[in-house]
């Protein structure tokens, strides 16, 4: 058999081959498989551009309304801000927080505590007993009793309510009219447990 | 927009890519149209290769279901959908042939169409018919690597490039395989014809 004859036979066989069609039964199976995807995909997508445009417009309206509402919220007067006690005037140093105390380095600069107590005196009358006041902004003053102690690397702030007369035990001179007064004071206590400085809060 | 609302395009007017997208969106008509367009090629190829109609049906179904599941696999830029489908069919078929070593070449002759009428006389017609049967039988004896090239190139009349894409081999390999397949077929047919002549005498 020659190549030409073989090609002719293959051509004939090809015609016969191409007359075979795929079975129709598969078409139904595939149709069902494709349709089942519809439920998996969810609702069919909108086909029309105007529908998409409407959705986009609605989204834009919602976004603009949201932005306006936010801007209105920010322009409303703030009713109340939390009053926090300002940090004592301290030099830079490592800060550590604990539930009760905050450790800080105390500024060595000091005024006599007597002056500080005097300065607090008018405030005592004008402010309610437990309300925080601006008097707490003042700096700590070193305690004379702490002279000669090694410099504390870290300090804890301890708030105590005491009488004016109690200040004398720390080497502080207290005015006579302040001896019987009760005041709120903060002590800067070193890691050795000894107080280094004091601040009269009120 | 209004044109689109007024007239919905027929499945036959849509491209393979459009139909594929539509099928992925869950339109049964789209996958049915794709099957009508390319199902025959896949089925015939698997039928000729396996020689078993039920295996051919099974693989054809798997191939078209892959169209719905392997969404990102088909890339229209890299080749036509028919080539891609045939490539999947081939991989599935080879996997099947690897698992069932006993070859399945009981190709049902009844599924084959009858030979077309020609102006030849009865003797020539008989001779030609014998040659066709002999080539068909010879094809079944070819190793699968050569058989698939004959099916795609000679029977499906695909280009070398298309076949190369399906088989994932260079065009030169397709050419050489086809050459080897034809040489083998010619040799098989020569012995077959010689045997028939001898029996007649």
Question: Are A10 and B190 an interchain contact pair (Cβ–Cβ within 8 Å)?
Answer: no
Smallest Cβ distance to B25: which of A1, A7, A44? A44
Which of the pair, A38 or A172, is modelled with greater confidence? A172
Q: With bands split at pLDDT 50, 70 and 90, how would you rate the model's confidence at A93?
A: very low
Which of A30-39, A95-104, B3-12 has the highest mean predicted lDDT (pLDDT)? A30-39
Q: How many CB pairs under 8 A join A and B?
A: 132
Question: Which residues does A200 contact at the CB level (< 8 Å), separation at least 6?
Answer: A113, A116, A117, A120, A135, A138, A183, A184, A185
Q: What percentage of chain B reaches a pLDDT higher than 70?
A: 78
Whole-angstrom Cα distance, residue A117 to residue A106? 19
Question: Phi then psi for A103, rounded to 5 degrees?
Answer: -90, 130
Give the number of other CB atoms < 10 A from CB of residue B63.
26
Mean pLDDT over residues B68-79, rounded? 74
Condensed to tens digits (0 to 9), the pLDDT of residues A150-187 reads 777 788 888 888 888 888 888 888 888 888 888 888 88
- Chain A residues with CB under 8 Å of B37 CB are none
The string of pLDDT tens digits covering residues A72-91 is 877 655 444 434 344 444 44
Give A75 to chain B, closest Cα distance, Å: 46
Interface membership of A22 toward B (CB under 8 Å): yes
Name which of B25, B44, B64 is nearest A17 (Cβ-Cβ). Answer: B44
A199 dihedral zone (left: phi>0; alpha: psi -120 to 50; beta): beta
Neighboring chain A residues of B131 at a CB cutoff of 8 Å: 1, 5, 9
The verdict on pTM exceeding 0.90 is: no
pLDDT value of residue A85: 41
Shortest Cα–Cα distance, A97 to chain B (Å): 56
Point out the residue among A19, A25, A49 whose CB comes nearest to the CB of B113: A19
Cβ–Cβ gap A17/B48 under 8 Å: yes
Mean pLDDT of chain B: 80
Instruction: Identify the pLDDT of residue A168.
Output: 81
């Amino acid at each position: 058999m020659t190549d030409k004859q073989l090609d002719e036979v293959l051509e004939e066989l090809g015609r016969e081959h191409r007359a075979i069609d795929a079975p129709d039964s598969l078409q139904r199976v595939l149709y069902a498989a494709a349709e089942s995807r519809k439920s998996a995909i969810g609702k069919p997508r909108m086909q029309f551009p105007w529908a998409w445009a409407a959705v986009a417009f609605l989204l834009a309206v919602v976004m603009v309304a949201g932005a306006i509402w936010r801007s209105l919220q920010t322009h409303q007067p703030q009713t109340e801000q939390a009053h926090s006690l300002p940090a004592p005037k301290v030099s830079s140093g490592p800060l550590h927080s604990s539930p009760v105390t905050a450790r800080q380095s105390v500024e060595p600069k000091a005024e006599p505590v007597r002056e500080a107590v005097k300065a607090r005196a008018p405030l005592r009358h004008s402010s309610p007993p437990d309300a925080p006041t601006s008097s707490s902004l003042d700096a700590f003053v070193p305690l004379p009793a702490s002279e000669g102690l090694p410099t504390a690397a870290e300090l804890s702030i301890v708030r105590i309510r005491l009488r004016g007369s109690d200040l004398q035990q720390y080497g502080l001179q207290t005015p006579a009219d302040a001896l019987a007064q009760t005041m709120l004071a903060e002590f800067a206590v070193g890691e050795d447990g000894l107080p280094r400085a004091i601040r009269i809060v009120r | 927009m209004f044109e689109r609302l007024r007239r919905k395009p027929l499945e036959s007017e849509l491209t393979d890519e459009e139909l594929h997208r539509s099928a992925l969106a869950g339109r049964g008509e789209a996958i049915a149209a794709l099957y009508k367009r390319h199902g025959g090629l896949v089925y015939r190829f698997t039928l000729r290769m396996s020689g078993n109609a039920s295996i051919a049906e099974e693989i054809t179904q798997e191939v078209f279901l892959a169209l719905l599941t392997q969404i990102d696999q088909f890339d229209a830029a890299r080749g036509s959908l028919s080539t891609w489908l045939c490539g999947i069919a081939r991989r599935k078929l080879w996997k099947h042939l690897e698992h069932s070593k006993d070859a399945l070449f009981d190709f049902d002759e009844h599924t084959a169409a009858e030979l077309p009428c020609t102006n030849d006389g009865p003797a020539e017609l008989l001779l030609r018919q014998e040659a066709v049967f002999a080539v068909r039988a010879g094809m079944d004896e070819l190793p699968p690597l050569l058989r698939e090239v004959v099916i795609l190139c000679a029977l499906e009349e695909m280009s070398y490039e298309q076949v190369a894409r399906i088989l994932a081999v260079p065009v030169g390999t397709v050419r050489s395989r086809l050459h080897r397949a034809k040489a083998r077929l010619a040799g098989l047919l020569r012995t077959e014809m010689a045997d028939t002549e001898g029996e007649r005498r």
